Amino acid sequence: MARSSRRGREIDGLLLLDKPLGLSSNAALQRVRATFRAAKAGHAGSLDPLASGMLPIGFGQATKVCGRLLNSGKTYLVDVQLGARTPSADGETPVIERAPVPALAPEAVDAVLATFTGAQQQIPPMHSALKFEGKRLYELARRGESVERPARAIMIHRLQRMDVGPDRLQFEVHCSKGVYVRTLAEDIAVRLGTLGYVRALRRLSVDPFGGRPMYALEILEAMDPARLETLLLPADAAFDDLPRVDLGGAAERGLLLGQSVRPSQPAPGGELRVYGAGGRFLGLGEGLGDGRLKPVRLFVPGAGA
């Protein structure tokens, strides 16, 4: 539903944008916001200009989803140039080192990829947005500086070879938040006995939206404005993995005032998605273990949490 205001239309919902190459995530967001004439919009999980693919965009109340999606798993298709290394581990910077590429049998590549699955430790790259003494690492890297970075725990859920050639490897990876795919590509190349950098990167999905359609900017900008809102997902589409609790009138009113309430059916413990009269999505709650639940994040305008 859209409501008009002087700042733009008050729209609620999620759009799965297929971000193009050559455009920053913020630039893509601003174009989508202008296309929808939306008063409020935000994106979940930046893709730099050299990467394409799924960029969830929230409008209105659904902008509250963006923080959770930052912590979601992601799936990428990664095209690696073997036999060379760049400072940024992608094509943004020039090649600074070359190495021969050994003959790579598919079975040997698969064996190497298998060693990268599961819980891993990864050292973040200098070309990253992490901060050191108040400065972004990429700012230091551009000045030719390097500082020690502690390894971080990551999880590689799935890593699959898609193609391999004399100087090229393509793989698909489903990974946790915090994974630097360019560093992963570099480390795989080293384990294969050579060097490598990412020459193409595409985000195929953000959990839990795997298999859902994405929409290109040019399609959106050419579309009849009356049809645009039909592309939006409801905010609760981001929480399909959570148990559902429905509230009656009195409990719904109490929850919207920020109170802990007791549903007619006892609420299970843990994080919950909560619905009110007519199946209206109210937001997220937490089961307290005694059948009650408390509000955590409400998605209803004017609510108390």
According to DSSP, residue 53 is labeled: E
Distance between CA atoms of residues 78 and 202, nearest Å: 7
Please tell me the distance from the alpha carbon of residue 294 to that of residue 298, in angstroms, as a whole number: 11
Which is nearest to 263 in space by CA: 277, 278, 245, 281? 245
- Distance CA(144)–CA(142), nearest Å, equals 5
137, 127 in Cβ contact below 8 A?
Answer: yes
Catalytic member of 12, 18, 48, 236 = 48
Query: What is the Cα gyration radius of the chain?
Result: 22
Query: Alpha-carbon torsion 119, 122, 124, 130, what sign?
Result: positive
Local structure of 120: helix, strand or coil: strand
Within 10 angstroms of residue 67's Cβ, the number of other Cβ atoms is 12
- Measure the CA–CA gap between 285 and 298, rounded to whole angstroms: 8
Q: Are 188 and 196 in contact (CB under 8 A)?
A: yes
CA–CA distance, 150 with 146 (Å, rounded to integer): 13
Q: At what angle do helices 181-191 and 106-114 cross, to 10 degrees?
A: 120
Q: State yes or no: is 12 an active-site residue.
A: no
The 10 Å Cβ neighbour count of residue 251 is 22
Query: Known catalytic residues?
Result: 48
